[in-house]
Amino acid sequence: MFKIRSLVTALALVGSISVASALEVLPTVAPAPADNPTTAEKVELGQLLYHDPRLSSTGTVSCSSCHNTMLGGEDNRPNSMGVNGQTGGRSAPTVWNAAFNAVQFWDGRAPSLEAQAAGPVTNPIEMGMKSWDDVVARLNTIEGYQVAFEKAFGKDSISKDNATKAIAAYERTLITPNSPFDKYVSGDKSALTEQQVRGLNKAQELGCTGCHSGPAFNGPGLFLPFPIHSNPVYAAKYHFKDDKGLAEVTKKAEDEHRWKVPTLRNIALTAPYFHNGSVKTLDEAVVVMAKTQLDKDLSKEEIADIVAFLNSLTGEFPKQKMPVLPATPGSTFN
């Protein structure tokens, strides 16, 4: 799972990536695993579970609390807030287009959306449930969930496995295609401004798209060191190396400060930036990336051009009707 593409990594380590990745439009449908084909019933159930704070110990935090589908798919906070006001050490990644990630979480510890959906529910800082057995017991007392699970999976089907499958099925519908960039690549050369075209060309020239590759600009399955080039000013200001990244999972020294390459899709909407949310603006993030990864100092014009290009990656968000959650008339969990 944590294999690194040696050629791109080697080029990145010397700050001289010149790989010009093919430009690809974002697909409108995400592939589903063989053991969890997408169905309308699963998606409907998954949307309920995703937005239900009763999957948390306090009844106050849902998946959507940190990955808000009414915004850029995260919460615009440096560190997300879980139960009882607790905060973690990392910034919430966007859920939009997460279906195109080869692995999930900043450190890639979950190999699928299904595996990712299971984690936060029992994390003591995030949703705080003691166990999935407790979650299943709670869902079993709600008549509306008994009906919804039966529609999606059959009778007596409320389980951790089916709950996470349903959430993942819903998340696979969270795709934002038809951005100005997509329209440009599809042949509409008027879809991008001259400045955005300059920014695209500069991003390719610098090598940005060598790592941020593929239709989601996320280098699927690719882990790279960050930062590559030491900078004492940035180290003191942003504390990038306080978190060991991939090494927190593998416990290997060679994996320290390696991170899954994040998507650039809708990046204009997902400030603050980087794994610890320490950079507040997109302009500043471009400056930091150029210096820490490529050892390049960009002009104001180059920064503005690249930021303009990144804005062209904001896609069309599918219209969603917020669900009415199954009720518990006359009772409460808290």
184, 199, 263, 268 from 196: Cα distances, Å: 11, 5, 18, 13
Greatest distance between any 2 Cα atoms in the chain: 64
121: three-class secondary structure by DSSP = helix
Residue in the structure block whose two tokens are 């790989």:
19
Taking the CB of residue 159, how many other CB atoms lie within 10 A of it?
A: 17
- Quote the CA–CA distance of 77 and 97 in Å, as a whole number: 19
3-state secondary structure of 41: helix
The DSSP H or E segment spanning 263 is: none
Write down the catalytic residue from 24, 74, 114, 126.
126
Phi, psi of 273 (to 5 degrees): -115, 160
* CA–CA separation, 334 and 331 (whole Å): 9
In sequence order, the β-bridge partners of residue 273 are: 279
| Sequential DSSP letters for 274-331 | TTTT-B--HHHHHHHHHHHHH-----HHHHHHHHHHHHTT--PPPP-PPP-PPP-TT-
Instruction: Please say whether the beta carbons of 225 and 190 come within 8 A.
Output: no
Measure Cα distances from 113 to 33, 99, 155, 172, 250 in Å: 10, 7, 24, 8, 20
Distances (CA, A) of 271 to 7, 96, 234: 30, 14, 18
Active-site annotation holds for 41: no
User: Rounded to a whole number, what is the distance in angstroms from the first to the last CA of the chain?
Assistant: 40
**Amino acid (1-letter code) at residue 233:** V
Alpha-carbon distance of 84 to 60, in angstroms, equals: 9
Place of tokens 């808000």: 68
Q: Catalytic amino acids?
A: 126
